[in-house]
Structure 1
Amino acid sequence: MEKRRLGRTDIFVSRICLGTMTFGEQNTEQEGHEQLDLALERGVNFIDTAELYPIPPKAETQGRTEQTIGTWMKSRAARDKIVLATKVVGRTANEWFRGGRPSRLVRADITDAIDKSLARLQTDYVDVYQMHFPDRLVPWGANPVRVGEWPAKRAEDETSIAETLAVFDDLVKAGKIRHVGLSNESSWGVMKFVAEADKGVGPRVATLQNAYNLVNRTFEVNLAEVCDREEVSLLAYSPLAQGYLTGKYDDGALPTGSRKQLFDRLQRYETPGAAEAHKAYNTLARDFGLEPALFANAFVTHRSFVTSNIIGATSIDQLKLALDSADVAWTPEMQNAVDALHQRFGNPCP
């Protein structure tokens, strides 16, 4: 599988990354190992996880995903075969991450998080350590298509980006992490992290993990320019819009065992006008003779500014279909048809 460079680093990753947030909830440890085996066999060398996983986040399951990856790496002697990325939570009122208190992107919380992640992963270092979401009070995803009141509300104890970045600098020097990444960030946030690093405050961010799919192209245009000029790699998550771009929820269907049926927390993709957009894209995929999931993943995988498409699956068959997206011949006709629908629907699910 084609490899692409992460930011300005010397790391090259597969154009598809295996997302793992189902491991420990919808998938057992054995099933997680089977997915990891298949991904590696198919040329994937990039694995993404987080201290928050599995989804949905709960105190009793938190950390299971990293544990599954850790046992797999140990049993397969696979650590040197993969590029491993994980994440520390941003500002959250959930108290189970830090043993009974809320968490922020401050020194005590970040160092606690990385040490616990390394223990669960059974490794001495991670290649990319990402901030899962900002310490700032921003909308989830950090890229809404409109804002309410402005200026936005700020936390009285907001942690400065310089303070956070200095902690990551120490982790790099300690050998616990190789590179720094962001997630669910805005154009301002990325530029501020870059500016602080350029002043010598800490390491330069290498990656940005944001949602990007047919119904959420908010990465375009501002963030795309920022990442291009500053050489920050986009790691695109949610290429299937949490399953809505597979067609399985079209016309109000609710398959047994689906994430919506199990957890009913897909509200990001249930906004006004979203259902019509989902069905239009799913229909378009079939018009081109492709399964909607294959089409939606191929759209993301083949975008020039996407370094790696973070796919996810709960079954081996789903995983195979997602991996096949790297082999789809994405044509100008497909892109033009997608752009025509985007002109009509915009970004209903930012």
Structure 2
Amino acid sequence: MAIPQRTIALGTLGFGTIVDERTSFEILDHFVESGGTVLDTANNYAFWLDGATGDESEEVIGRWLASRGARDRVVISTKVGARPTVPGTGLETAEGLSDKAVRTALEGSLRRLGTDRVEVYWTHIEDRSVPLAETVDTLADLVAAGKAGEVGASNHAVWRVERARALAGDRARYTHMQYRYSYLQPRFDIPLPSSAHVHVTGELLDYVSSEGDIRLWVYSPILSGGYTREDVEIPAAYDHPGTPRRLAALGAVAEELGVTKNQVALSWLLDHDPQIVPLVGVSRIAQLDEALGALAVTLSAEQRRRLDEAAL
């Protein structure tokens, strides 16, 4: 199944941990019934929570796929590289991207998901201890074997992606990139909320646009509810003079269109050049409906201009 041209992907990081299995199933059911097709997970979600191992999200999706017979109705995207090898530790013991680690991790993901292939297989974080050619060759082998449809790089330096694509030659190469991005833009002298997050830059957008065969996916597109919820604080990395102007423009356009600020922020991403796939994580059906509602929001050229120029 191909990834639709204009789509919102369902992020499943919290399934089986923050979001219980029954609710996860309800969300997945509603997502597919509403026309959604793209599910994004990883082999380490959400290991950092008390009592979690990192198996949870993939296992919940696997059980849902089996119970609904839904494998051919969805695109599955999962990741390798950031799962700790020692229980109770963090990324300092991450599995990495060696040939053995990548192959072993994919077998584990396929087992948990109850499938024989994934549509997109991502290297979750960089591993500079392993020759890049080794990782590139392994990923190409997995695509050739039919275990992965395409491959992507998440949170990698742009130059590393370019080098990897060159090393791949005529074999399968990175055609997807995944980073943090939203309407608000951060300052770069203050860390992002997670040390593993890498933000979209102008250079990255230029690279994706110039290459023509790369699909850009973005996480945290609505800042975990920061645009609309009074109980969610916008991270300190966005504390600069441009933010109030952008928030004012976002609010004005939302009021004009009769939609939420979240929907305007998502619409701004959906109508982006280069084309973007926003990843939205939800814990309630109402949140999912709000996010999917952004697909029906159309920004006028004048509204888009105002949003783009708000922080200039």
Counterparts in 2 of 1:23-62, with a 5 A limit? 23-54=15-46, 56=48, 60-62=52-54
Q: Distance in 2 between matches of 1:188 and 1:21?
A: 28
TM superposition shift of 1:77: 0.7
Q: Structure 1 329/279 Cα, relative in aligned 2: closer, same or farther at 3 Å?
A: closer
Choose the corresponding residue for 1:297, options 240, 243, 266: 266
Matching residue's letter, 2:210: R
Counterparts in 2 of 1:65-144, with a 5 A limit? 65-90=57-82, 95-96=86-87, 101-136=93-128
Q: Distance in 2 between matches of 1:236 and 1:193?
A: 20
Matching residue's letter, 2:224: Q
Bigger CA drift: 13-22 or 214-223?
214-223
Which residue in 1 is equivalent to 2:240?
A: 273
Q: Report the count of equivalent residues.
A: 295
Q: Distance in 1 between matches of 2:31 and 2:145?
A: 31
Matching residue's letter, 1:208: M
Which residue in 1 is equivalent to 2:166?
A: 195
Which residue in 1 is equivalent to 2:215?
A: 233
Is the 2:185–2:238 contact (alpha carbons within 8 Å) kept by the matching residues of 1? no
Choose the corresponding residue for 2:251, options 272, 283, 303: 283
Task: Say if 2:312 is the partner of 1:337.
Answer: no
Q: Distance in 2 between matches of 1:56 and 1:306?
A: 32
Q: Distance in 2 between matches of 1:337 and 1:55?
A: 41
Is the 1:302–1:326 contact (alpha carbons within 8 Å) kept by the matching residues of 2? no
TM superposition shift of 1:300: 1.1
After superposition, the C-alpha distances for 1:270-313 in whole angstroms (9 at most, x for unaligned) are 55338746743553344433211111111112213224221221
Choose the corresponding residue for 2:3, options 12, 29, 32: 12
Is the 1:126–1:177 contact (alpha carbons within 8 Å) kept by the matching residues of 2? yes
Is the 1:21–1:55 contact (alpha carbons within 8 Å) kept by the matching residues of 2? no
Partner SS for 2:28: helix
Which residue in 2 is equivalent to 1:222?
A: 203
TM superposition shift of 1:93: 6.3
After superposition, the C-alpha distances for 1:107-161 in whole angstroms (9 at most, x for unaligned) are 221122111111110111111100111114xxxxxxxxxxxxxxxxxxxxx2222
Matching residue's letter, 1:46: V
Q: Distance in 2 between matches of 1:95 and 1:27?
A: 25
Is the 2:97–2:130 contact (alpha carbons within 8 Å) kept by the matching residues of 1? yes
TM superposition shift of 1:242: 2.4
Q: Distance in 2 between matches of 1:101 and 1:221?
A: 32
Percent sequence identity is 28
Matching residue's letter, 2:122: Q
Q: Distance in 2 between matches of 1:291 and 1:279?
A: 12
Matching residue's letter, 2:35: G
Q: Distance in 2 between matches of 1:239 and 1:69?
A: 22
Q: Structure 1 237/101 Cα, relative in aligned 2: closer, same or farther at 3 Å?
A: closer
Matching residue's letter, 2:202: V
Which residue in 1 is equivalent to 2:150?
A: 179
Matching residue's letter, 1:106: S
After superposition, the C-alpha distances for 1:200-225 in whole angstroms (9 at most, x for unaligned) are 5x521121111221123864532223
Q: Distance in 2 between matches of 1:110 and 1:97?
A: 21
Matching residue's letter, 2:2: I
Q: Distance in 2 between matches of 1:93 and 1:71?
A: 24
Normalising by structure 1, what TM-score?
0.75
Q: Structure 1 66/182 Cα, relative in aligned 2: closer, same or farther at 3 Å?
A: same
Which residue in 2 is equivalent to 1:165?
A: 136
Is the 2:151–2:172 contact (alpha carbons within 8 Å) kept by the matching residues of 1? yes
Is the 2:269–2:278 contact (alpha carbons within 8 Å) kept by the matching residues of 1? yes
Q: Distance in 2 between matches of 1:203 and 1:320?
A: 36
Is the 2:269–2:276 contact (alpha carbons within 8 Å) kept by the matching residues of 1? no
Q: Distance in 2 between matches of 1:23 and 1:311?
A: 13
Is the 1:244–1:278 contact (alpha carbons within 8 Å) kept by the matching residues of 2? no
